Chains A and B, each alone.
Chain A
């Protein structure tokens, strides 16, 4: 069964550094999402992306965050200047328009030192 794949599985970064999290959505999916999960808390929506533009973003997704689909297969989340509170699991998800569910990857654990 096709899967959403995320790399790296664990990223350790110094505070203030830029980080890029990478996702390969399922190949025929056209909607892409990023969610985050701070340890022990609920999964929170960050952003949805369709047709090469952001469809919706939460208040968490401020100017430090950006998303990109640089080619036909990858979907990336960039955090420009990381803060300690950015430490979390980041999940990528995808689905086809009008069809559910969203399929999630196994996440990238981001640790900010």
Chain B
């Protein structure tokens, strides 16, 4: 099955700096890669996603890049703010599978220092 690795496990940045979180996946059949933000006591909330037919996607301060050849994808947050502090999870999925399950990374705890 699919195996998703995520690095780093913790990340501290100064407010205004950029943060980058990286994930790798093992199954070349995976074609959908969402990123979720999880705040304390809450469920994961989607922040951005990308499909395998696209190399990059941007939404304001958040961007995701995908390298299918190398099987890795990254989350970039620019101009970080204290409210960006949370745990971020990457995931991979093969939308052609009827079960449609997500395989999650181990999470990155991001702290933005004011």
A residues lining the B interface (CB < 8 Å): 4, 6, 31, 33, 35, 41-45, 48, 50, 55-58, 91, 95, 100-107
- In the complex where A42-B89, A100-B34 touch, is A107 in contact with B43 (Cβ < 8 A)? yes
Interface size class of B (residues with CB under 8 A): 20 to 34
In contact, A56 and B97 (Cβ under 8 angstroms): yes
In contact, B104 and A100 (Cβ under 8 angstroms): no
A to B contact number (C-beta, < 8 Å): 61
In contact, A55 and B98 (Cβ under 8 angstroms): yes
User: Can you list 27 contacts pairing A with B, beta carbon distance less than 8 Å?
Assistant: A6-B43, A33-B100, A35-B102, A41-B106, A42-B106, A43-B91, A43-B104, A45-B103, A48-B99, A48-B100, A55-B98, A56-B97, A56-B99, A56-B101, A57-B99, A91-B43, A100-B32, A100-B49, A100-B95, A101-B34, A102-B34, A104-B43, A104-B45, A105-B43, A106-B41, A106-B43, A107-B42
Task: Point out which of A31, A50, A100 has the most chain B C-beta atoms below 10 A from its C-beta.
Answer: A100
